[in-house]
Amino acid sequence: MKSFVFSMLMAVAIIYCPAQAPVIRARLVPAKGIIVGQPVHLTVEVLVPNFFTGSPDFPTFDLEDAIVVLSEDTPANMSEQISGQTYAGISRTYLIYPQQAGDFKLPPAQFTVPYAKSPPKTAQAVLTLPPLTFHADIPAAARGLDYFLPTTRLTMQQKWSAPLNKLRVGDTVERTIMITALRMQGMLIPPMQLQAPNGIRIYPDEPKVQDQKTDRGEFIFGSRLESAKYFIQKEGDYTLPAIELRWWNLSSNRLVTATIPAVHFTATPNPSYVAELPPEPEVVTTAQPRPASLWSRYRWIVTAAPVLCLAIASVWFAYSYLPKLVIILMRRRERYLRSESAYFRNLVRACRNDQPQGAYQWLLHWLESSNPKETLNHFLERSKDEQLTQQIDALAETLFGKDPVNVWNGTAMAGRLREHRKTASSRRESQTRLPLLNP
């Protein structure tokens, strides 16, 4: 009797036990002492009971006065016990570069997570990014500057297109200044103020700003290239003023000044040079006006009317049909991306590239596109392919097992999947072929 009552209580407890829900966690590194322009690593972890049935959506989001970049690193897989149940997890990292001093609050970004709620039953959860905050500041010694340039190393170099000891009147020489800052964006490097004394005219070019990043999205260095042409108008001794750039050294925590020294040179006379004189004004004779005819007065209206009508018709056509055409094309592309062949191609590519996470996710998508009611276990039982079953089991152990026993071979799994798909396609064709009318 006691055992019966205990069994009934356990059954009731199982029925009324709330289902475990997905979990989202986030943390900032560093969380304090953040300087403007330096990266803040935001790590987001998504955990679900049982296992994922698809790839979680890690969206990109905007943060005012900051640059947010989703790292290109491969998502990290994990396994964890929460309230006695095993959770599978995936984590990714965002890089946040604050551009101004002040307080920053992360927006409530939405993460879509497909998972096995009660296998084989699946579900899709929408999780919200926790409301984390951080403060970015500028060191007191650098707050009076018009700009803030934090880096661990900054170089400033110049190059001339010709030697400065052989300049003559009428010559043009080009000056190029390259500024490179380690681990920061090139757009934060301020423009150079190039000056010259009377007798020299400056023709500046458009500056070129470039960034070099790692595969993770972190800035390796940023550069700014300033170029200008100096045209010598008069002979004499010239001095171009020095160029200074102040920047904050993150290694020594002090303000440093990078300098290009003043440039001295002499421009000698050039007897063969003739300064360009403005052209003499031409003598314009005023003709007597002729009486305008009616055709010449309104001819532009007649000639412009067909063009105007064609333009109006083009605008009307574009306004009426172009949005519909774009919607149709987008729907066709969406249908193609969600087709069985597209999912299978992505699955084979992930297997050949030895990407277990991608292979597992595309495998689930492909099975759902082929037969939404079929689970992974039913698929393996129906395939009766022992080698394919071994590879899929090895794939699951690689992703979610603590000590995998079997070794997953992506190339072998891709070959078995192709063979299975070819056999299944041949079987369907033979079943749908019409019988002969007169056997």
pLDDT at position 292: 57
Please provide residue 200's backbone torsions phi and psi, each rounded to the nearest 5 degrees: -130, 130
Q: What is the mean pLDDT of each run of 10 residues along the chain (439 residues)?
A: 43 44 94 88 93 89 90 85 90 91 94 86 91 92 83 92 91 94 84 88 92 76 92 92 90 90 92 64 57 64 80 82 80 80 88 87 82 77 83 81 78 88 78 54
> What is the model's pLDDT at position 229?
93
CA angle (23 as vertex; 126, 337 as ends), nearest 5: 40
Query: According to the model, what pLDDT value does residue 149 have?
Result: 85
Helix H segments across 255-293?
Answer: none
Q: Tokens 């000590």 — which residue?
A: 403
The pLDDT, as a whole number, for residue 8 is 43
Are 219 and 212 a contacting pair, CB within 8 Å? yes
Q: What is the pLDDT of residue 198?
A: 92
Task: Please say whether the beta carbons of 91 and 75 come within 8 A.
Answer: yes
* Spatial distance between the Cα atoms of 65 and 63, rounded to a whole number of angstroms: 6
Enumerate domains of the chain plus CATH numbers: 18-137 (2.60.40), 148-267 (2.60.40), 340-431 (no CATH)
